């Protein structure tokens, strides 16, 4: 990947920043676009501290079509794009659907339009296992039917994939891969970058670490009456560094012309389901902390269980996770301790 110039939109975000690090480790020249609506400029220093190379950065709101057009005029030598930029809070999307459709769909269309104008070929899309809803069979394969979205956020991921698919249909030379993440957790081992939720965390793992560090009173476990072994929901928790490496491999696949069709989809998970109580136990084991939590009623919209069939990613991408739940929980805890000190 030496000296390949790659645009990472949303590159100061949680998964984006970890992916920038892995791209730079592979010798890529990275340009980041971020509107800083859900990320801090300090993440740029974190990336630089890890790799020793400061990525180019431009603060651009991708909803501003003219700004997007201007950017691509100035960077016509970009060879690939990894598109993370989007709002991603499920609950918030229910309260502000139009914000989510504008911010997640319009921006995707403007970026794709410029890629077409500049005859840019390679596009990696940040998608989500949310598109499956509660799948009928587990583990969930890429062939599982996409179900009606449970939230406007999930709908924007489904619509986004359809927009990209239609773009690929009319232009064989345009190549795209949609990566459907399961539950990204953890932080870079350097503790220079990690998850930075704004306000009260919606996701489980940052709520656990913020409770343990004393920022939150106690964790509420949303229901223990599900039809699972311990009654709590099951998810596929994937270390964000493993996830980031998958993006580099997917982009290399397109840059090297190894894709078998010009629109491909891959699930990115560990293939292993873990319950909420198992995640809590993992945290307690790696941190030595006793977590304060209580069981409360179910959260609307939660599915009982979701974990990935990882065969396609393993056999076709040649990628699989290497880090464990304990590795992820330990890195999340070290990160929480670092940012609170």
- Taking phi over 0 as left and psi of -120 to 50 as alpha, with beta for the rest, 246 belongs to alpha
Indicate whether 158 belongs to the interface with ligand WQD (CB under 6 A): no
Q: Which residues of 236-272 are buried (b: 16+ CB within 10 A; e: fewer)?
A: bbbbbbbbbbbbbbbbbbbbeeebeebbbbbbbbbbb
User: Residue 238 in contact with residue 182, Cβ under 8 Å?
Assistant: yes
Q: To the nearest 10°, report the CA torsion of 161, 166, 169, 171.
A: -100
Taking the complex as a whole, how short is the minimal distance between the CB of residue 302 and ligand WQD, in angstroms? Answer: 4
Distance CA 142, CA 50 (A): 34
Taking the complex as a whole, how short is the minimal distance between the CB of residue 15 and ligand WQD, in angstroms? Answer: 9
Kindly tell me which of 33 and 205 has the beta carbon lying closer to ligand WQD.
Answer: 205
Taking the complex as a whole, how short is the minimal distance between the CB of residue 233 and ligand WQD, in angstroms? Answer: 3
Indicate whether 202 belongs to the interface with ligand WQD (CB under 6 A): yes
- Catalytic residue list contains 153: yes
Point out which span in 72-80, 115-123, 198-206, 249-257 binds ligand WQD (CB under 6 A). Answer: 198-206
Distance CA 82, CA 303 (A): 28
- In the set 82, 144, 204, 305, which binds ligand WQD (CB under 6 A)? 204
* Lookup: tokens for 261: 């069709």
Indicate whether 180 belongs to the interface with ligand WQD (CB under 6 A): no
Indicate whether 222 belongs to the interface with ligand WQD (CB under 6 A): yes
Point out which span in 54-62, 64-72, 190-198, 220-228 binds ligand WQD (CB under 6 A). Answer: 220-228
Instruction: List C-alpha distances in Å: 70 to 62, 94, 111, 123, 218.
Output: 11, 33, 11, 19, 48
Helix (H, G, I), strand (E, B) or coil at 132: helix
Indicate whether 235 belongs to the interface with ligand WQD (CB under 6 A): yes
Percent helix, strand, coil in the chain, to 5, is 40, 20, 40
Kindly tell me which of 50 and 305 has the beta carbon lying closer to ligand WQD.
Answer: 305
Indicate whether 302 belongs to the interface with ligand WQD (CB under 6 A): yes
Tell me the site size for ligand WQD, rule CB under 6 A: 19
> At a CB cut-off of 8 Å and minimum separation 6, what does 273 contact?
138, 139, 234, 235, 236, 305, 306, 307
Q: Which of 14, 100, 110, 153 is catalytic?
A: 153
Taking the complex as a whole, how short is the minimal distance between the CB of residue 59 and ligand WQD, in angstroms? Answer: 23
Residue among 194, 218, 221 at smallest CA distance from 337: 194
Interface residues for ligand WQD in 14-33 (CB under 6 A)?
Answer: none
Indicate whether 88 belongs to the interface with ligand WQD (CB under 6 A): yes
Kindly tell me which of 24 and 232 has the beta carbon lying closer to ligand WQD.
Answer: 232
Residues 100-119, one symbol each (x = binds ligand WQD by CB under 6 A, - = not), give --------------------
Q: To the nearest 10°, report the CA torsion of 137, 138, 140, 144.
A: -10
- In the set 183, 209, 287, 321, which binds ligand WQD (CB under 6 A)? 183
Active site residues: 153
Which residues would be at the binding site for ligand WQD (CB under 6 A)?
88, 90, 128, 130, 181, 183, 202-204, 207, 219-222, 233, 235, 276, 299, 302
């Amino acid at each position: 990947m030496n000296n390949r110039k790659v645009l990472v939109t949303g590159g100061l975000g949680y998964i984006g920043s970890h992916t920038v690090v892995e791209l730079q480790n592979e010798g890529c020249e990275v340009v980041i676009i971020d509107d800083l609506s859900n990320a801090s400029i300090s993440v740029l220093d974190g990336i630089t501290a890890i790799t020793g190379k400061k990525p180019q950065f431009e603060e651009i709101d991708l909803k501003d079509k003219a700004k997007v057009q201007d950017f691509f005029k100035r960077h016509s030598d970009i060879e690939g794009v990894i598109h993370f930029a989007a709002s991603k809070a499920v609950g918030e999307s229910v309260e502000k659907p139009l914000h989510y459709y504008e911010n997640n769909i319009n921006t995707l269309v403007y970026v794709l339009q410029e890629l077409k104008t500049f005859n840019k070929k390679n596009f990696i899309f940040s998608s989500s296992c949310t598109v499956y809803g509660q799948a009928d069979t587990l583990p969930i394969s890429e062939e599982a039917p996409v179900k009606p979205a449970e939230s406007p956020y999930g709908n924007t991921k489904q619509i986004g994939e359809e927009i990209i698919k239609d773009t690929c249909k009319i232009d064989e030379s345009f190549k795209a891969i949609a990566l459907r993440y399961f539950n990204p957790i953890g932080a870079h081992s350097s503790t220079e970058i990690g998850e930075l939720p704004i306000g009260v965390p919606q996701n489980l793992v940052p709520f656990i670490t913020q409770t343990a560090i004393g920022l939150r009173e106690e964790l509420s476990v949303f229901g223990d009456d599900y039809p699972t072994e311990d009654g709590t929901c099951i998810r596929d928790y994937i270390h964000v560094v493993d996830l980031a490496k998958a993006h580099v491999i997917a982009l290399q696949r397109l840059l090297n012309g190894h894709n078998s069709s010009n629109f491909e989809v891959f699930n990115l998970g560990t293939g292993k389901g873990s319950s909420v109580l198992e995640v809590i136990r993992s945290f307690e084991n790696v941190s030595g902390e006793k977590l304060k939590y209580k069981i409360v009623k179910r959260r609307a919209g939660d599915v009982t269980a979701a974990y990935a069939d990882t065969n396609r990613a393993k056999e076709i991408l040649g990628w699989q996770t290497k880090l464990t739940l304990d590795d992820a929980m330990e890195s999340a805890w070290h990160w929480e301790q670092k940012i609170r000190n």
